[in-house]
Structure 1
């Protein structure tokens, strides 16, 4: 009887854990800051839905690798995740940014590879998420304040010129 307890507990653990997420389908929506006239940072947000094979479990916790930094991915609803970060306006990336996403097993292998100095490109990723950033509008080439000052100076010059003309 005592021999059956460890066997039964391991069987129940396998049922509770389920099989890992297989045949992954990911649909993403992304947002990036495109107006940087008054901002100093660009925000990148990607919301994605993960669909697994019906016989497998949900992916659980996910982690993203961005510029050799590991970022936790927020679980906002069942099988719905959100990844976000900010970058300085001067160093913000433009174009398509591909971020690797790892599940728990991949996260453990990634941490091990980083700790040992191994090649992190060889670690098996769960999926990738692409975020497209077209760039940020930083304002017009000539600011409105400069145009107003230039307009004021031209009116003042014209007024002084007319006054000199009438007085003489």
Structure 2
């Protein structure tokens, strides 16, 4: 009868996932750069995670500007990807910190958020800084406006030259 609680504890430990200590992250980030035809800027960070304790298949969560999001893991369990979108109006250029949490850190973070406690005491296993250089929103002056101004200038120049010749 004492075997059932032992098996239950082993099952919960296996499902909860491994914890990563001494995390080393190698990341590459991508962002949308053209805001002339889209309404949201996409942020994507691809990274590999290596833990000093040798943990594999670590379930990760990320705290981004968009909130807490799940992280996709490749089949081999080595590569990870986190992504989110942000409205063009709020997407300023600069660094975007992405805090990575394992299962235990995520649980502690959620507990702190539910209790309206300070979340800065919950330390992430790693932080990625994703740089967004800013999005191109189009030229300051539209080409149609420039064409109209050029036509008005040419018409004015031609009219003044005609008046000088006629005088």
TM-score, length basis structure 1 = 0.78
Q: Which residue is equivalent to 2:68?
A: 70
Is the 2:30–2:45 Cα contact (8 Å) retained in structure 1? Answer: yes
Indicate the SS of the match to 2:71.
Answer: strand
CA gap of 1:89–1:79, structure 2 versus 1, over 3 A, is: same
Could you list the runs of 5+ residues in structure 2 that have no partner in the other structure?
A: none
Deviations 1:138-168 (A, max 9, x none): 3333322211111222233344455666777
Are 1:91 and 2:90 matched, yes or no? yes
In structure 2, what is the equivalent of residue 25 of structure 1?
24
What secondary structure is seen at the aligned counterpart in 2 of 1:90? helix
What is the SS of the residue equivalent to 1:83? Answer: strand
In structure 1, the residue corresponding to 2:154 is in which secondary structure? helix
CA contact (8 A) 1:21 1:58 kept: no
Matches of 1:11 and 1:162, distance apart in 2: 94
Distance in 1 (alpha carbons) for counterparts of 2:54 and 2:161: 87
Match of 1:114 in 2: 113
Looking at structure 1, the residues matched to 18 and 62 of structure 2 have their Cα atoms a distance apart, in angstroms, of 22
CA contact (8 A) 1:31 1:45 kept: yes
Show CA shifts across 1:59-110 (max 9, x none): 12x2112248212222244222211122222221321111211111111111
Change (3 A) 1:56 1:120: same
Q: Is the 8 A contact 2:41 2:86 kept in 1?
A: yes
- Is the 1:18–1:57 contact (alpha carbons within 8 Å) kept by the matching residues of 2? no
Cα distance in 2 between the residues matched to 1:123 and 1:18: 19
Contact 1:20 1:58 in 2 (8 A): no
RMSD: 2.9
TM-score, normalised with respect to structure 2? 0.79
Q: Deviations over 1:18-43 (max 9, x none)?
A: 75223321110001122323333222
Q: Is the 2:66–2:86 contact (alpha carbons within 8 Å) kept by the matching residues of 1?
A: no
For structure 1, the residue ranges without an aligned partner over 5 or more in a row are none
Residue pair 1:49, 1:81 contacting (<8 A) in 2 also: yes
What does residue 34 of structure 1 align with?
33
